[in-house]
């Protein structure tokens, strides 16, 4: 059985929203916080984790990441709020 993958959204200090995928959200957020995560979060310091969503595999998580990255900042915030309300919601939604 494969490990689940997670889509996650981070609010940065400048108000921007970073979206990524990982198998370990806590470890990945810590890497972003320490400046060893993505180039984007080295320049835009993380403020807080907005939400996460579980996916069965990397492919599913990558497709969700692509879809979410196309959203406006306001749409990303609404999406993250929905994740906070129900982090176990089905992951096959198209948005």
CATH code: domain of residue 37: 3.40.1440.10
Query: Total domain count for the chain?
Result: 1
Specify if 92 maps to a domain: no
Instruction: Provide the greatest CA pair distance for the chain.
Output: 39
Q: How confident is the model at residue 92 (pLDDT cuts 50, 70, 90)?
A: very low
CA 12 – CA 33 distance, rounded (Å): 10
Q: How confident is the model at residue 78 (pLDDT cuts 50, 70, 90)?
A: very high
Specify if 40 maps to a domain: yes
Specify if 94 maps to a domain: no
CA 56 – CA 78 distance, rounded (Å): 23
Tokens of 71: 């959203």
pLDDT at 84: 76
Tokens of 84: 């906070």
Specify if 13 maps to a domain: yes
CA 89 – CA 91 distance, rounded (Å): 6
Domain with 70 in it: 5-85
Specify if 17 maps to a domain: yes
Q: How confident is the model at residue 83 (pLDDT cuts 50, 70, 90)?
A: confident
Specify if 93 maps to a domain: no
Specify if 58 maps to a domain: yes
Per-residue pLDDT for 70 more than 60? yes
What's this model's pTM, rounded to 2 decimal places?
0.86
Per-residue pLDDT for 18 more than 60? yes
């Amino acid at each position: 059985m494969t490990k689940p993958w997670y889509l996650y959204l981070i609010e940065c200090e400048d108000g921007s929203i970073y979206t990524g995928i990982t198998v370990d959200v806590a470890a990945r957020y810590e890497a972003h916080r320490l400046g060893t995560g993505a180039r984007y979060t080295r320049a835009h310091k993380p403020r807080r984790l907005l939400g996460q969503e579980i996916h069965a595999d990397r492919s599913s998580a990558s497709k969700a990441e692509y879809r979410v990255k196309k959203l406006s900042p306001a749409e990303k915030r609404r999406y993250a709020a929905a994740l906070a309300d129900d982090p176990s919601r089905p992951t096959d939604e198209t948005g």
